Amino acid sequence: MEERKIRVAITQGDANGIGYEMIFRCFAEPAFLEVCTPIVYGSPKVAAYHRKALNLQANFSIITSANAAQSDKLNVLTAYENDVKVEMGTRTPESGAAARQALDRAIADFASGTFDALVTMPMDTADLDGASSQADYIIRALGLTDDCMQVFTSGSLRMAVTAPLCPAGAAAAFISKEAVEGKAKTLFNCLKRDFRVNNPRLAVLAYNMMASTEENDVIVPAVEQLKTDRVWTYGPFQADDFFCNCQHVHFDAILAMYHEQAMIPFKMLAGEEMAVFTTGLSLPLVEPMYIGGKEKDQVDELPLRSAIYMAVDAARNRVNYDEPMANPLKKLYHEKRDESEKVRFSIPKKHEEKN
């Protein structure tokens, strides 16, 4: 991976949506092609239509396989052959089906490892066979469930959720000591491996406004066990006091109990560079969170640019993290009675030095 640029696959999203405009504006600067080798999964015809309709200066190469991608070009991979009637700004069954086909093709290449990271453009969840998000759809398609987690990111602000997406009142059924410990460890490892944060500090939010069963019998014991396991976790903190007093700036990530508890403060505190990072997959998966442009009818490409940087960094971070872990240093010698680190690094006594 170090000998070539990172290959970042980018799905087109809804054929009538903002995907191609964001992509063309993002790669309008030739210098940005030095960051990665972009491979857009979609349709060259639809891409050309958007380029002409938006009057954008954008050159791209048409390829049929990710292996044919050129490192200094914006590559558009033909993910489906059928013609699509483009009605910009209007979701149609045809445009949704095209988004689904592009995503399916990217998933097939994702499993075979023909690119290094995946970034997904917006599409309607109604086109995802009941999945709550594109990440959820990809996880199901790959047959993964347990170790995957979505992390909402904006600069140094990172948040994850313990319970799956459900009404706040129903989240209690998913809050257990095992669930809190498992999610915290997944988040802790994600920070170390994907974001290269040394010795991460995690904050855990309380479920209720006042200490109750969930806090006393579930969250507090989980936090204590995590500390014993050297996962540096603190809490539980009352969400309102925690954010009002800006305590979040002292932690590398925050583990909330349910979706609303995470998303309301996240969207209030986050800047323009918002994205959803999915860990637990064989490759980094990033979905930019769209913000409308400052000018009328103009799309802001900053979320996509930020998502691509995050995907590239995560792909490189994983290599740099995994290589030394795969080849740990062996002991220089073996003690007959004690194999501990204490013996290996102990200072010899004076009579031993003379000998």
pLDDT digits (tens, 9 = 90+) for 286-312: 999 876 544 545 677 888 999 999 999
Residue 347 has what DSSP assignment?
A: P
Q: What is the mean pLDDT of the chain?
A: 87
Sheet holding 37-42, edge to edge: 61-63, 75-78, 37-42, 7-11, 117-120, 285-288, 275-279, 149-154, 157-161, 253-256, 202-205, 233-237
**What's the rounded Cα separation, in Å, for the pair 109 and 119?**
13
In the chain, what percentage of residues exceed pLDDT 90?
A: 65
Phi–psi pair at 328, nearest 5 degrees: -65, 150
Rounded Cα–Cα distance for residues 252 and 268 (Å): 18
Q: Choose between 331 and 352: higher pLDDT.
A: 331
* Residues 75, 40: Cα–Cα separation, whole Å: 6
- For 29-56, b where at least 16 C-beta lie within 10 A, e where not — what string? eeebbebbbbbbbbbbbbbebbbeebee
Tally Cβ neighbours within 10 Å of residue 340: 10
Instruction: Summarize the confidence of residues 242-259 as an average pLDDT.
Output: 95
In the prediction, which pLDDT does 251 show? 97
Distance CA 61, CA 350 (A): 72
> Length of the chain in residues, anyone?
355
Distances (CA, A) of 223 to 55, 116, 176, 292, 294: 55, 35, 12, 39, 43
**What pLDDT, on a 0 to 100 scale, did the predictor assign at position 331?**
60
Written as six digits, the tokens of 251 are 């932690």
CA nearest neighbour of 110 among 82, 134, 133, 146 = 134
Please state at what angle helix 220-228 crosses helix 177-193, rounded to 10 degrees: 40
Tell me the mean pLDDT in the region 91-96. 92
Give the confidence band of 334 by pLDDT, cuts at 50, 70, 90.
Answer: low
